[in-house]
Amino acid sequence: MRNRGCMSAGTIGIALLVIAAILFFWGKNGYNNFVTKDQNVNTKWSNVETVYQKRANLIPNLERTVKAYSQFEQETLTKVIEARSKATSITVDPTNMTEADLAKFQAAQGELSGALSRLMAVVEQYPNLKADQQYINFQREYTAIENSIRSETVYYNEAAQDYNTTIKTFPNNILANFTNFKEKPYFKADAGAQKAPEVFTN
């Protein structure tokens, strides 16, 4: 009876070790998977910031081009400059980004989009400025960047969705809560910052 008890205890010990090993490898693989997907989201966010920064970098050249036409409505240009300043002043930490953070960022970028759209609509009233080679170059670059913004925000949302689905699916949600992996916010589909400009005419 004593030997049988020892064997029973040994069997239980082995079973516990097996369970511990399974939990360890599941936890390790799950954690590493979370890290990989989290880093992918961060990379996509970096791409989003890059294209928005490229757009902001176009503004000084636009300002110089427009200022060369003294009769142009300076108030419209001033609003673009102010919107650029606001948009570039907002920084977001992708590792700890909340829905409110992204909404604030997106609102500022949308404000700049609106200001630029209004300025370019006004330019239509100035044939000489509209035909200026520097302004034509701006149009070309701006349109390409706006299209890139739409693409990069979609890529970010896809990466965020993949990450969010992973950490919210059982039993991953248990490990995610324990390791403090949090849900990532999305760009909203209706955001003006995601819409390509439609103000250019041939």
Per the prediction, the chain carries an average pLDDT of 87
- Which residue ranges form the domains of the chain, and what is each CATH number? 50-148 (1.20.1440.20)
pLDDT the model gives residue 199 = 43
Cα–Cα distance between 85 and 100 in angstroms, integer?
20
- For the record, the structure tokens of 56 come out as 């902001």
Could you read off the pLDDT of 105-118 as tens digits, one per residue?
999 999 999 999 99
Per-residue pLDDT averaged across 62-84, rounded? Answer: 91
Predicted confidence band of residue 20 (pLDDT cuts 50, 70, 90): confident
Predicted confidence band of residue 18 (pLDDT cuts 50, 70, 90): confident
Q: Which residue has the higher pLDDT, 94 or 13?
A: 94
Is a pLDDT exceeding 60 seen at residue 35? yes
Is a pLDDT exceeding 90 seen at residue 25? no
pLDDT the model gives residue 11 = 84
- For the record, the structure tokens of 186 come out as 């999305």
Cα–Cα distance between 85 and 67 in angstroms, integer?
18
157 three-class SS? helix
The answer to whether 185 and 99 are in contact (CB under 8 A) is yes
